[in-house]
Amino acid sequence: MDANDDGVGDIRGIINKLDYIASLGVDAIWVSPFFKSPMKDFGYDISDYRDVDPLFGSLDDLDTLIAQAHERNIKVMIDQVLSHTSDQHAWFEESRASRDNPKSDWYVWADAKPDGTAPNNWISIFGGCGWEWEPRRGQYYLHNFLKSQPDLNFHNPDVQNQILSEVEFWLERGVDGLRLDAINFCFHDAQLRDNPAKPPEQRQGRGFSEDNPYAFQYHYYNNTQPENLAFLQRLRRLIDRFPGAVTLGEISSEDSLATMAEYTANNERLHMAYSFELLVPELCAKHIRDTVENLEASLGEGWPCWSLSNHDVVRVMSRWGGGYNPVLGKTLHALVASLRGSVCYYQGEELGLTEADIAYEDLQDPYGITFWPNFKGRDGCRTPMPWQSDVKNAGFSQVKPWLPVSDAHAALAVDVQEADANSMLNFYRGFMAWRKDQPLLLGGEIRFASAPEGCLLFERFHKADERQSLWVAFNLTDKAAQIPIPATLSMLDGHGLQGASLDDQVLTLPPYTGAFMR
């Protein structure tokens, strides 16, 4: 919400909506970057790690947010961007000035090849060469994202020490945790070896489209280096000095599930991690099962985090539902919250918002502008939250907002759904309250069982006493399904999903719904 009428959501806007957030039953909020920034990538290009950009408010506002969230038993996680800074950060301005200044080795610099071309074949995820020429040094610098986002050189111990100091600043200020952006990008291959080519049949996007040249390589050398593990252990030791603080890492690698397991191993690195493995274009029960089972097989005692939408992908109602589909939307809420692990819900997901259609002239995302029209960028999922259906800009702002409010979203506004007992919003509230009373959903193990194509059947159980179990089933198809149940169970109610029936160990599920049994 925009609290000061400049068209942009801000910290005061979050404060104004804390009662609504508390009504959802969430344990924590993850706030995207609010640090000082030229906003080339909406705050993911930081020019000062220790201050709030005036666009979003002030340090005092953040202190108020933390205090008022804590009064409502809501924790506050902030988005830390550690692998790179803005090119307007004072560190980079000093580093780029010469080859012999105190910060000359704080970023990834390399000489040109004899013919003047870039040091190797690394590609930016936002398109084009991952290297940019700097005439003041007569060298190239690495940028895995925009050219205005130069990569820090974590092989330099001074960089690691400084970054840990930046993190400590916020922990001392009272934040409860860190969402760590692109955390596997901190280190690069010190030998600057070329990434090998990837054959066309293996090019698949996870957070990027398959026609992006980034998909044409195996990214063995520009990210996910073994040196990162020791740094994560240093980070964890810092975090552990602040009881209750947690870390959530964003992982995008050649084998994201294996990296998630590695980065959360032995409870000495990250507390939890998430990947883009469930943020795929199509709804597929087999893919969901395979993803969860593959992670569980390698994770051991580690703790996963799942999500179906975020600020980087098309909203799940458009990706998997083909549009607003409240029956499917309720089931997807229940599904992701029934897997072992924590769950992130993206703002507006509790309303069933679809991807907004943004005209080219309204685009803000440089990613979308570069790849238009094949890829329209991330603006369609980042549009303003609709609070009221019949007021200007759906109650987000009194002035023209930074992205337009979708008419379809206004019809699904909070005030409309709060007045409808059967709405997505009220289902979400009810289900999350019910889930809090189900210890097996909160902390039990998970084990899948055989189910018809397009369906999922799994058991949540206690390892110490497997007789304590809860069975969960979902039909993700557009036809009724019958699922044989491998035990004598009875139906549970109170979760809000409708229409299932159980007769003689055969569960009948209408399209796009689910059931819970014990």
Separation between Cα atoms, residue 206 and residue 223, nearest integer Å: 15
Q: Long-range contact list for 233-238, CB < 8 A, 24+ apart?
A: 233/268, 233/269, 234/160, 234/164, 235/164, 235/167, 235/269, 236/268, 236/269, 236/270, 238/164, 238/167, 238/168, 238/171
SS3 assignment for 330-374 = HHHHHHHCCCCCEEECCCCHHHCCCCCCCCHHHCCCHHHHHHCCC
3-state secondary structure of 180: strand
Region of residue 341 (phi > 0: left; psi between -120 and 50: alpha; otherwise: beta): left
Q: Which two tokens stand for residue 180?
A: 């760590």
Of the residues 2, 176, 250, 349, only one is catalytic, namely 250
DSSP string, 137-178: TTEEEE-SS-TTSPBB-TTSHHHHHHHHHHHHHHHHHT--EE
Task: Please give the Cα distance from 179 to 291 (Å, whole number).
Answer: 22
Query: What is the DSSP annotation of 450-485?
Result: ---TTEEEEEEE-SS-TTSEEEEEEE-SSS-EEEE-
Write down how long the chain is.
518
Sort strands 506-509 and 501-503 into parallel, antiparallel or unpaired.
antiparallel
**Which residue, chain included where needed, has tokens 């169970």?**
489
* Positive or negative: CA dihedral 85, 90, 91, 95: positive
* CA atoms within 13 Å, Cβ hemisphere of 142: 28
DSSP 179: E
Contact 454, 475 (CB under 8 A): yes
Helix, strand, coil tally for the chain in percent (to 5): 30, 20, 50
CA 471 → CA 113, 308, 500, distances in Å?
A: 60, 22, 14
- Establish whether 250 is a catalytic residue: yes
Instruction: Give backbone dihedrals phi and psi of 326, rounded to 5 degrees, phi first.
Output: -65, -30
Strand order in the sheet with 109-110: 109-110, 139-142, 131-134
| Coil, helix or strand at residue 47 | coil
115 as an active site residue: the answer is no
Single out the catalytic residue among 181, 262, 349, 355.
Answer: 181
Helix (H) or strand (E) holding 69: helix 59-71
Coil, strand or helix: which one is 500? coil
* Active site (catalytic) residues: 181, 250
